[in-house]
């Protein structure tokens, strides 16, 4: 059984705190739909990759602008994290768009399409489906 490492615990705490900071402190309406999907901290906890999605936003230009806005505000986020968490060093933050949810949605739609196509092509007559 793998132990729950300190970096994992710190990452989870950063995720919770950032979600609250974005919800309560950020005044930029573009970032209201930001969802933090994961936080990955380096072993020395000097760096943290923050994976985010934007619910209801699928325009690549807007996503890029929102990621840029988050990265420009990382000093603001680090300051608030420092106040909320008792860490000797608050990690340097890097916001990254998490495409896994979008890719999962695309794959799910492809699977649904393949299943419905298969059902349309499948015949219910057992005699026709037997090999000769």
Q: What is the pLDDT along the chain (132 residues), one digit of tens a residue?
A: 567 788 898 999 999 999 999 999 988 888 888 999 999 999 999 999 999 999 888 888 999 999 999 999 999 999 999 999 988 889 999 999 998 877 777 788 888 888 888 888 765 555 555 555
Measured over all CA atoms, what is the biggest interatomic distance in the chain, rounded to whole angstroms?
A: 74
Please name each of the domains of the chain with its CATH number: 6-119 (3.30.300.20)
| pLDDT given for residue 68 in this prediction | 95
List Cβ<8 Å contacts ≥24 apart for 21-24. Answer: 21/77, 21/80, 21/81, 21/84
| pLDDT given for residue 58 in this prediction | 80
| pLDDT given for residue 120 in this prediction | 80
Rounded to an integer, what distance in angstroms lies between the CA atom of residue 42 and that of residue 58? 29
Check if the beta carbon of residue 51 is closer than 8 Å to that of residue 96: yes
| pLDDT given for residue 129 in this prediction | 52
Distances (CA, A) of 129 to 113, 119, 124, 132: 22, 13, 8, 9
- In this prediction the pTM is 0.76
């Amino acid at each position: 059984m793998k132990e729950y490492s300190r970096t994992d615990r710190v990452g989870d705490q950063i995720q919770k705190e950032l979600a609250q900071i974005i919800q309560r402190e950020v005044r930029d309406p573009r970032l209201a739909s930001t969802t933090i999907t994961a936080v990955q901290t380096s072993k020395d906890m000097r760096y943290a990759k923050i994976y985010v999605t934007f619910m209801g936003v699928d325009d690549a230009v807007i996503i890029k602008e929102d990621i840029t806005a988050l990265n420009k505000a990382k000093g603001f986020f680090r300051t608030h994290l420092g106040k909320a968490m008792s860490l000797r060093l608050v990690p340097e933050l890097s916001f990254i768009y998490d495409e896994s949810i979008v890719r999962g949605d695309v794959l799910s739609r492809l699977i649904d399409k393949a299943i419905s196509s298969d059902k349309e092509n499948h015949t219910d007559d057992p005699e026709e489906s037997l090999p000769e």
